[in-house]
Amino acid sequence: MNLWPWILAACVLAYATKLAGYFVPRSLLKNPRTMHIAGTMTIGLLASLTVVNAFASGQSLAFDARIGALVAAAVALWLRAPFLVVVIVGAAAAAGLRLLGWG
């Protein structure tokens, strides 16, 4: 199967989707309610991205070394560690748990 046409079509769709957001009238976004919703959506999306990356494995939920990364990152954040340290702690926790043979 030649995949090139589908690759290019998917690439065009991806860019068109991103660009479409820029053509939503700004006046709509000046509305206080819209801005409030944009704020709640940012929190919702970040929370969702966090749990998807921690627990989703395709269409099923998995409990593996990524949970260690989530917990370790939360502890690092609670201790007010800077961003890069949090990311490294997360990676180290996941890698360490796998080294120990879990997940």
Partner 1 sequence: MLNLTNGERMQLGRRAGLWLHEVMPPKLLDSPAVKVGVSISIATGLYGISFGALSAASGFDFWQTMALSLIMFSGGSQFAFIGVVAGGGSGVAAMTAAALLGLRNGIYGMQMNALLLPQGKLKYLQAQLSIDETTATASGQSDPDEQRRGFWTAGIGIYVLWNLFTAVGALAGNALGDPKQWGLDGAAVAAFLALLWPRLKGREPWAIAVVCAVATLLAVPFVPPGVPILVAAAVAAVFGWLSHARADEGLEPDIDPYAHRRSDTRGDHGEGAE
The least CB distance from residue 41 to partner 1, in Å, is 5
- Which one among 63, 79, 95, 100 touches partner 1, defined by CB under 8 A? 95
91: contact with partner 1 by CB under 8 A: yes
- Which one among 36, 63, 79, 102 touches partner 1, defined by CB under 8 A? 36
- Chain residues 4-33 in contact with partner 1, contact rule CB under 8 A: 4-11, 13-15, 17-22, 24, 26-27, 29-30, 32-33
What is the b/e burial string over 67-100, where b = at least 16 CB atoms within 10 angstroms of the residue's CB? Answer: bbbbebbeebeeeeeeeeebeebbeebbeebeee
The least CB distance from residue 97 to partner 1, in Å, is 8
Question: What DSSP state is assigned to residue 81?
Answer: -
Residues in contact with partner 1, shown as a per-residue x/- string from 37 to 76 under the rule CB under 8 A: xxxxxxxxxxxxxxxxxxxx-xxxx---xx-xxx-xxx-x
The least CB distance from residue 55 to partner 1, in Å, is 6
Burial class of residue 103, CB neighbours in 10 A (0-12, 13-18, 19+): middle
Q: What is the DSSP string of 36-61?
A: HHHHHHHHHHHHHHHHHHHHEETTEE
